Chains A and B, each alone.
Chain A
């Protein structure tokens, strides 16, 4: 069964360091999403891609976060510099097209010390 792959699964870093997360969506899925899930809360959309183009990044803290999907397939989310408040689960999801069911990956648990 096709799944969304994410790596690493866990990341511990010190504040002010740079971190990067990788996502490989289900093959053929044009839409890719990055969510942040703070412990005890629901996921919050950070950025949405349609192929290689950003559709929505209104909740992405652009002073420190960046995301890219250069070839419209896999994607990288970067934080530089990391802050204590960035500790959360970072989830990637993909869908065939906008409006179709979103399939989530297992997430990357980030801890900033």
Chain B
């Protein structure tokens, strides 16, 4: 019930294309859904996050779509650039209590020039 399942494991997109990464969760008590970006040799960095009271959040080229009934959320990267090549992790947590983040398995994104 604590798992967050992420797909695909790896993704190759041409420059200028749209990258889409999907996540699914089971625990309906989760109410905070962030996405992290990790470059080789670095720790993860928060990219964008959403709470379940909205179905979509957009920040620049990055958009989170959230489907509460399906218990799924996805990251869309518009106009993908080579500099977006990194590993992306979705995560989920409760806003109450210790607010422990549960991470997905990660998606290695490669943007071909």
Q: Are B98 and A98 in contact (CB under 8 A)?
A: yes
Distance, CA A91 to CA B101, complexed state (A) = 13
Q: Are A105 and B43 in contact (CB under 8 A)?
A: yes
Distance in Å: Cβ of A41 to nearest Cβ of chain B: 6
Chain B proximity mask over A34-48: 1 for CB below 8 Å, otherwise 0: 000000111111001
**Closest Cβ neighbor of B103 among chain A residues:** A42
Chain A proximity mask over B98-112: 1 for CB below 8 Å, otherwise 0: 111101111000000
Q: Are A42 and B91 in contact (CB under 8 A)?
A: yes
Interface size on B, residues (CB 8 A): 19
Partner pick for B105 among A41, A91, A102, CB 8 A cutoff = A41
Q: Is the interface of A mostly helix, strand, loop or mixed?
A: loop
Distance in Å: Cβ of A37 to nearest Cβ of chain B: 9
Q: Are A102 and B101 in contact (CB under 8 A)?
A: yes
Known A-B contacts A48-B98, A55-B98, A106-B41; the reply to A42 vs B105 at CB < 8 A is: yes
B43, B45, B91, B101, most chain A CB atoms within 10 A: B43
Known A-B contacts A42-B91, A42-B106; the reply to A102 vs B100 at CB < 8 A is: no
